[in-house]
Amino acid sequence: MSENQSIDRVYRIGQTKKVLVYKIITKGTVEEKILQLQSQKKHVFASVVEGSQSLISKMSPEDIRNLFEYNQV
């Protein structure tokens, strides 16, 4: 993500104080859809990685498909 790259760059050039980053997303835009998709995938990934072994058996087929599917926005 470009936001993460920007934050990293600020610290590489010598910033020692806290950096605040604001992300403004307009409703109904491609950026909003991308943000929602990223959020869904992070949630599912965290559940699988941090959860118990039985969690995989509780996942719906749609959840599993979403992990591996290439989504065009």
Per-residue pLDDT at 54: 62
The CA-atom distances, in angstroms, between 11 and each of 3, 20, 44, 52, 63 are 13, 12, 31, 37, 37
Domain for residue 29, yes or no?
Answer: yes
Per-residue pLDDT at 19: 77
3-state secondary structure of 58: helix
Confidence tier at 50 by pLDDT (50, 70, 90) = low
Domain for residue 12, yes or no?
Answer: no
Domain for residue 6, yes or no?
Answer: no
Domain for residue 63, yes or no?
Answer: yes
Based on the structure, what is the number of domains in the chain? 1
Domain for residue 48, yes or no?
Answer: yes
The pTM of this model reads: 0.50
For residues 16-26, give the mean pLDDT.
Answer: 81
For residues 3-13, give the mean pLDDT.
Answer: 76
Per-residue pLDDT at 71: 61
Per-residue pLDDT at 4: 73
